[in-house]
Amino acid sequence: MTVAQKRWGQGIYFVVALICVAILVFPMYWMIVSSLKTNMQLFASNPAFYPPTPQWGVYGQVLSSQWTHLVTSLIIAFGVVILSLLIASPAAFALAHFRLKGISILLLALLIVQMVPGVSLANALFVIFHKLGLLNNYFGIILADSTYAVPFCVLILRAFMLSIPHELMESAFVDGGNNWTAFLRIVLPIAKPALVTASLFAFLFSWGDFLFALTMTTSNRIEPVTLAVFQYSGQYGNQWGPMMAFAVIASIPAALILIFSQRFITAGISSSGLKG
């Protein structure tokens, strides 16, 4: 293959990738544009691809009335991240470096849990949480969201920890340490990219969760942003500008976390071993 043919091939791949990105980003772009338009501009026969007279004040109005829901979702999301890592990290370490019977069966169970429809799981959890008094409180929603986040985090962390040479952990045993010492002082610092990756997926799942938030709340005392957007659309169904502005604001925290943790995610996914 000549240099010219290689460049042509790379150019074609780049154009295809650019088209795919444009298709994926366009709904977000249209949501932002719609939030800055009036209803008349939105439903015009020839809608513009940019707001003729941007209505920036709508963001201040929405944020002043809905900021409590954003705080609620942040508390739940970070709670899910902390709980998931506390459970998944030692579990992944044990599955990766201990010779235990039935590991393959346990891994299969973790995969099956990911395939269970959320509606079925939510109905069962509602009955249990109702008897335990975990409805309408933060811990109940955090625990419900963790039922999906923990198995996924275990699989991600185990895949990374398998690449850590056992000789590194043996150095902790030589110094008089035990498995906990090796886990805390050697494995966790090395597995930082995988921990960030698992944390991000746990955060995104809990931030975008609607089913568990709806099932585990029977009042409006605790209302995550997903429920708030749903109720906002019902209460102000004819005000598309504020609705789109609320949707844009609800997307910002997840987007910022994804941007700032991008380099850790790349390292966590691409790492398959350690260089000496």
Element (H, E) at 34: helix 3-35
| Separation between Cα atoms, residue 11 and residue 43, nearest integer Å | 38
Task: Say whether both 122 and 48 belong to one domain.
Answer: no
Mean pLDDT of the chain: 85
Residue 211, token pair as written in the block: 């089913």
Residue 64, token pair as written in the block: 């002043």
For residue range 103-154, what is the model confidence (pLDDT) as tens digits?
A: 888 888 888 888 888 888 888 899 999 999 899 999 999 999 999 899 999 9
Give the pLDDT of residue 273: 41
Is residue 275 in a domain? no
Task: Say whether both 49 and 70 belong to one domain.
Answer: no
Is residue 36 in a domain? yes
Domain, as residue range, for 47:
1-55
For residue range 12-42, what is the model confidence (pLDDT) as tens digits?
A: 889 999 999 999 899 889 899 988 888 888 8
pTM for the model:
0.85
Task: Say whether both 189 and 67 belong to one domain.
Answer: yes
Length of the chain: 276
Give the pLDDT of residue 96: 86
Give the pLDDT of residue 236: 60
Q: How many helices (H) and strands (E) does the chain have?
A: 14, 0
Taking 50 as the threshold, does the pLDDT of residue 221 lie above it? Answer: yes
Strands of the chain, DSSP E: none
Mean pLDDT of 73-80: 95
Task: Say whether both 135 and 170 belong to one domain.
Answer: yes
For residue range 171-181, what is the model confidence (pLDDT) as tens digits?
A: 777 777 788 88
Give the pLDDT of residue 274: 41
Task: Say whether both 15 and 69 belong to one domain.
Answer: no
Mean pLDDT of 82-111: 88
Say how many domains are in the chain: 2
Is residue 50 in a domain? yes
pLDDT band at 270, cuts 50/70/90? low
